[in-house]
């Protein structure tokens, strides 16, 4: 997608905030526990390569992604650290992953059997590192029975084409106050763990929420995701043990200002009618940029003042009700700080009845990412 370099709209990513979030977490970890940065979905919308670079500088020793192409993108960008693909990759790409030294998640012995002839073909330069996924209650991917995991482990020992590098699971409720289901998953994982003849290099269960609030479960590697970006994985339910620094702000400018009279309608469907004479500002952001239609009625900051989004959000523009006439070019803040007021990604997500993960991942590549530099330590 074309990036909109010739309009005033931009995402500003504070790399120092990312660095600080990672370093605060590393300080809490035992020296034997590594932190791998989760940079999937283009770094949760923040920019995969830039985030990975900052994470490496901050002390991350590996990376987690969702799909093989993201891992290949990191390799092409010059990263040599371990990379784990958390999702299921087709066995037909086993050779590609092995040759690029990319670790894959595996949840069935059938996958191993399908990948074996691919790895036995010509031009395979390394064994394939795999992490066994355990479905301890997430219901997504992974082994669900100890016997199946044990059989797959025995299969690996017969085939040197594979290297069992890790064992992991994912918790469904680590960010909630009620820990009953979390504890049930912990017990299920520990039972499955006993099925292996010997433990692999990495045993990991902790996403951001688990590491923040259940660090006794960390194992020897943490998959540090949304907290890396300064976002609370629990929303507003639980508070992290240290202040997270949000890394993203979203700004633009007023591009058109006009006064309308009482009764005049604004935007598609004429869902908004002015109650009196009003000053209206047009903002060059729409749902094609990831600012969804359901944010009608929410607000932005203009000149440090809350201004309501009126009428339906259009594909490329939205309109706000201004407190008075303001000049074209006045700064508009959709996420971030302006004066004494702040709009957080959690504020946006709460209004949209979703989570901040979805908001950031929906921010379009059409919006340029501008990176503030890291500070030397």
Kindly report the three-state secondary structure assignment for every residue of 263-294: CCEECHHHCEECCCCEEEEEECCCHHHCCCHH
> How far from 182 is each of 140, 168, 190, 205, 325, CA to CA, in Å?
15, 15, 12, 11, 53
Helix (H) or strand (E) holding 152: helix 146-157
Are 361 and 350 a contacting pair, CB within 8 Å? no
Q: What's the pLDDT at 1?
A: 78
Are 345 and 290 a contacting pair, CB within 8 Å? no
Q: Do domains 15-229 and 248-343 have the same CATH topology?
A: no
- The domain ranges of the chain are 15-229, 248-343
Q: CATH number of the domain at 15-229, please?
A: 3.20.20.10
Beta bridge partners of 38: 64
Residues 6+ apart with CB under 8 A from 336: 12, 248, 249, 250, 251, 301, 342, 343
Cα angle 320, 326, 328 (rounded to 5 degrees) comes to 85
- The catalytic residue among 56, 93, 268, 331 is 268
Tell whether residue 315 is among the known ligand binding residues.
yes
**How many Å apart are CA 313 and CA 286, to the nearest integer?**
6
| CA-closest candidate to residue 240, choices 20, 14, 11 | 20
**How many Å apart are CA 17 and CA 317, to the nearest integer?**
30
To the query of whether residue 40 is one of the catalytic residues in this protein, the response is yes
Which parts of the chain sit beneath pLDDT 50? none
Q: What are phi and psi of 56, to 5 degrees?
A: -60, -45
- The catalytic residue among 10, 19, 40, 375 is 40
Residue ranges with strand state E in the chain = 10-14, 34-38, 62-65, 83-88, 103-106, 128-134, 162-169, 202-204, 221-224, 248-253, 256-260, 265-266, 272-273, 278-283, 299-302, 305-310, 318-322, 331-338, 341-343, 369-372
Are 152 and 112 a contacting pair, CB within 8 Å? yes
| CA-closest candidate to residue 95, choices 126, 130, 69 | 126
Q: What's the pLDDT at 124?
A: 87
**How many Å apart are CA 310 and CA 288, to the nearest integer?**
18
- Tell me the whole-structure pTM to 2 decimals: 0.95
Tell whether residue 138 is among the known ligand binding residues.
no
Q: What is the dihedral of CA 49, 58, 82, 228, to 10 degrees?
A: -70
Architecture (CATH level 2) of domain 248-343: Beta Barrel (2.40)
């Amino acid at each position: 997608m074309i990036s909109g370099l010739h309009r005033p709209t931009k995402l500003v990513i504070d790399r120092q905030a990312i660095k600080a979030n990672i370093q605060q977490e590393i300080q809490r970890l035992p020296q034997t526990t590594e932190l791998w940065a989760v940079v999937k979905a283009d770094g949760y919308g923040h920019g995969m390569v830039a985030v990975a670079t900052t994470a490496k500088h901050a002390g991350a020793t590996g990376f987690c992604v969702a799909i093989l192409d993201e891992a290949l993108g990191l390799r092409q960008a010059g990263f040599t650290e371990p990379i784990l693909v958390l999702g299921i990759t087709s066995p037909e790409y086993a050779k590609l992953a092995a040759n690029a030294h990319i670790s894959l998640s595996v949840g069935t012995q059938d996958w191993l059997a399908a990948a074996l002839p691919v790895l036995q073909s010509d031009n395979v330069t390394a064994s394939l590192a795999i992490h066994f996924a355990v479905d301890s209650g997430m219901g997504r991917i992974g082994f669900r029975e100890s016997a199946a995991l044990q059989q797959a482990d025995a299969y690996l020992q017969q085939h040197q084409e594979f290297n069992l590098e890790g064992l992991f699971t994912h918790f469904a409720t680590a960010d909630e106050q009620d820990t009953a289901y979390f504890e049930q998953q912990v017990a299920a994982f520990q039972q499955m763990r006993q099925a292996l003849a010997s433990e692999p290099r990495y045993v990991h269960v902790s996403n951001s929420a688990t590491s923040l609030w259940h660090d006794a479960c960390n194992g020897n590697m943490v998959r540090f995701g949304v907290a890396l970006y300064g976002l609370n994985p629990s929303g507003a339910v639980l508070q992290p043990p240290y202040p997270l620094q949000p890394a993203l702000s979203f700004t633009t400018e007023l591009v058109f200002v006009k006064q309308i009279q009482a009764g005049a309608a604004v935007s598609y469907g004429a869902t908004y009618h002015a109650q009196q004479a009003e000053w209206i500002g047009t903002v060059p952001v729409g749902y094609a940029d990831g600012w969804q239609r359901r944010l009608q009625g929410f607000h932005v900051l203009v000149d440090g003042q809350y201004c309501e989004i009126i009428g339906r959000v259009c594909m490329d523009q939205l309109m706000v009700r201004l407190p008075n006439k303001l000049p074209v070019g006045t700064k508009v803040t959709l996420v971030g700080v302006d004066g004494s007021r702040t709009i957080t990604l959690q504020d946006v997500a709460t209004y949209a009845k979703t989570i901040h993960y979805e908001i950031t991942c929906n921010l379009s590549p059409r919006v340029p990412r501008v990176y503030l530099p890291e500070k030397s330590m």
